[in-house]
Chains A and B, each alone.
Chain A
Amino acid sequence: MIEVLNVTKGFGGKMILQDVSAVMEGGKTNLIIGTSGSGKTVLMKCMVGLMNVDKGQVKYGGEDFTAMSEREKKAIREKIGMLFQGTALFDSMTVEQNVFFPLDMFTNLTAKEKRMRVESCLDRVNLMEAYKKYPAEISGGMKKRVGIARAIVLNPKYLFCDEPNSGLDPQTSMVIDKLIKEITSEYQITTVINTHDMNSVMEIGDHILYLYNGLKQWEGTNRDIIFSRDEKLNHFIFASEFLQDAKEMRQIEIMQNRQAQEPPLAD
């Protein structure tokens, strides 16, 4: 579990995050959504320690990450896996070497054990056929999958994904979403995802945090979003007519399901 408590962050007098608090639960996919410039990436960077908070706390399993020394932070970081927006794969290494890297750096496993672990991770993301290729030789979706394999190779407790669907076609986006969702429940990881993708919000959003101008505007589940009356949230999520219609249809569907499940009233 990750707790974000009253986090405030600004740059040169401009406040990017103001008093944001949230609890990211374990075994769930926690989504941070919001328009461009709303502070999603800054919040994620503050959570992983790439940026220092001006005020507030970030707690990992009850331990205050923001007050830790660099050495203590290092110990927490070894439990973190991260998938970057641009994948951040090491372009001088093959797919296999990219996944090997954290194992070589942090474990004392034998070569055979490392190979088995790498193969199981690449197999988990369906990438066994590309393990000898360089990042420049594979597609965007494959790069994301390599990024996921590298992020989970050390069995992290926390997985952060910064816009995992950016630049991908809808079908590949769904594959990536499904993979993240499966890995989250399989390994009981606390997953935090920054996204703009409405399909992801509706499909895998166990817990959603909506940021608006650096403030927490709304918090709930993907089911709650359908019935939300928050104007800013509705304006952001259901921006097009198509999505408005989809929302109304989903509302009717959920209402009908509820009515069907309710016991008939006694006369």
Chain B
Amino acid sequence: MFFYHFGKYLLMLKGMWSRPESVKMYWKEFMHQCVEIGLGSLGIVMIISVFLGGVTTVQTAYQLVSPWIPKTTISMVVRDTLILELAPTMVCIVLAGVIGSKIASELGNMRVSEQIDALEIMGINTKAYLILPKILAALLVIPCLVIIAGFLGITGGLLAGELAGILGKQQFLQGLVKNFNSFNVFFALIKSYTFAFIISSISAYFGYYVQGGALEIGRASTTSVVVSCILILFADYGLAAILLQ
């Protein structure tokens, strides 16, 4: 069963590569997907990242009870936790729900209502026209969302630190630049590209091959989110094990 799905998934990816029938229409679809994926999930990403930053600050301060540890350590921990893990992984897990289910149900609905067949009859490579723009848009937009999440998370941490009286703005900013390792940002971007590909391609696979009706569309949508989340976690561990040695 696993090999059947994996093989079909690889064939789907292979089938996406063909000469576009109309470059203008493909570009239009790509831009449309960028807007759908980017703007459609910007709100939730902003809310989550601000709160993640805030909670991380409060909880880190709660655990650092020793008076020997400088307060700037809190913002160092918040910065690295957000950049290395929370911004890319947590945000992408949320995006797997938001974007993944949207892609799976959109393609599933198109399949069930014969819209994909209609495109095929017209002579359009539906994998290239419907799936490739979604994957490319996700690869462009999701890393941007992760970067925004990182900035907003740190801002949330700063605000929470000040509001709760844990550490001042100046102290927070001092800690933020202390021992900063730019590789962490690179690592976060690698993670976000990997997760973007997982979210978009897995949900497209489950949506594109839906058979049945409304019930199956719902199932495909749920399965795509579950499988994407599991694969994100596997990839998260794999990338950490390989790149953070």
**The one of B21, B115, B121 that contacts A106, using a Cβ cutoff of 8 Å:** B21
* B113 & A102 in contact (Cβ 8 Å cutoff): no
Is the Cβ of A88 less than 8 Å from the Cβ of B123? Answer: no
Give the CA-CA distance A74 to B121 in the complex, in Å.
Answer: 8
Counting CB contacts under 8 A, is B117 at the interface? yes
- A88 to B21 CA separation, bound complex (whole angstroms): 20
Given contacts A106-B21, A106-B22, contact A77 B121 (CB under 8 A): yes
Task: Pick the contact of B117: A50, A78, A89, A105 (CB < 8 A).
Answer: A50
C-alpha gap A48/B113 in the complex (Å): 17
Interface string of A63-90 (1 = CB under 8 A from B): 0000000000111011010101110111
- The docked-state distance in angstroms from the alpha carbon of A102 to that of B122 is 7
Q: With A and B bound together, what is the CA distance between A78 and B124 in angstroms? A: 9
Q: In whole angstroms, how far apart are the Cα atoms of A84 and B120 in the complex? A: 12
On whether the beta carbons of A48 and B123 are closer than 8 Å, the reply is: no
A89 cross-chain contacts in B, Cβ below 8 A:
115
Q: How far is the CA of A84 from the CA of B121 in the complex (A)?
A: 11
> Given contacts A48-B121, A77-B121, is CB(A84)–CB(B114) below 8 Å?
yes
Q: Is A82 touching B118 in the complex (CB atoms < 8 A)?
A: yes
CA distance A50 to B118 in the complex (A): 10
The CA of A166 and the CA of B141, in the complex, are separated in Å by 43
Chain B positions 68-122 with a Cβ under 8 Å from a chain A Cβ: 113-115, 117-118, 120-122
B114 contacts A106, C-beta separation under 8 Å: no
Complex Cα–Cα for A80 and B115 (A): 15
- Whether B25 is near chain A, meaning CB under 8 Å from some CB there, is yes
A11 to chain B, nearest CB (A): 12
Q: Which residues of B contact A160 (CB under 8 A)?
A: 121
Q: How far is the CB of B22 from chain A (nearest CB, A)?
A: 5
* Nearest residue, chain A, Cβ from B118: A88
Which residues of chain A have C-beta atoms less than 8 A from B118's C-beta?
A: 82, 84, 88, 90
A88-B113, A88-B114, A90-B115 known; A104 and B22 CB under 8 Å?
A: yes
Q: Please, which residues of chain B bring their CB within 8 A of the CB of A91?
A: 113, 115
A82-110 interface (Cβ within 8 A of B): 82, 84-86, 88-91, 102, 104-106
Report chain B residues within 8 Å CB of A85. Answer: 114
Nearest chain A CB to B95's CB is how many angstroms away?
21
Binary per-residue interface labels of chain B (58-76) against chain A in the complex, 1 for a CB within 8 Å, 0 otherwise: 0000000000000000000
Interface of A is mostly: mixed
| Structural contact, B117 and A88, CB atoms closer than 8 A | yes
Does B117 contact A74, Cβ atoms closer than 8 Å? no
CB distance from B128 to the nearest CB of A (A): 12
Q: Which residue of B lies closest to A104 (CB)?
A: B25
Known: A105-B22, A106-B21. A84 touches B124 (CB 8 A): no
User: A-facing mask of B111-144, CB < 8 A → 1, else 0?
Assistant: 0011101101111100000000000000000000
**Once the chains are docked, how many angstroms separate the CA of A28 from the CA of B4?**
44
Nearest-CB distance from B20 to chain A (Å)?
Answer: 9
**A contact residues around B123 at 8 Å (CB):** 73-75, 77-78, 80, 106
A82 touches B25 (CB 8 A): no
The answer for the CA separation of A28 and B25 in the assembled complex, in Å, is 35
Which chain B residues lie closer than 8 Å to A82 at the CB level? 118, 121
Q: Are A86 and B122 in contact (CB under 8 A)?
A: no
Q: Which residues of B contact A78 (CB under 8 A)?
A: 122-123
A96 to chain B, nearest CB (A): 16
B121 touches A86 (CB 8 A): no
Taking a contact as CB atoms under 8 Å apart, the answer to whether B120 and A50 are in contact is yes
Closest Cβ of chain A to B40, distance in Å, is 14
| Interchain nearest-CB distance for A178 vs B (Å) | 24
Determine how close the nearest CB of chain A comes to the CB of B169; give it in whole angstroms.
Answer: 46
Looking at the assembled complex, report how far the CB atom of B203 sits from the nearest CB atom of chain A, in whole angstroms.
18
Interface centre among A50, A85, A88, A104 (most CB of B within 10 A): A88
Interface residues of B (CB under 8 A from A): 21-22, 24-25, 113-115, 117-118, 120-124
Top 8 closest A-B pairs, CB basis? A77-B123, A88-B118, A88-B114, A74-B123, A82-B121, A78-B123, A84-B114, A105-B22
| Residues in chain A within 8 A of chain B (CB atoms) | 48-50, 73-75, 77-78, 80, 82, 84-86, 88-91, 102, 104-106, 160
Question: What are 25 A-B residue pairs whose CB atoms fall within 8 Å in the complex?
Answer: A48-B121, A50-B117, A50-B121, A73-B123, A75-B123, A77-B121, A77-B122, A78-B122, A80-B121, A84-B117, A86-B113, A88-B114, A88-B115, A88-B117, A90-B115, A90-B118, A91-B115, A102-B122, A104-B24, A105-B122, A105-B124, A106-B21, A106-B22, A106-B122, A160-B121
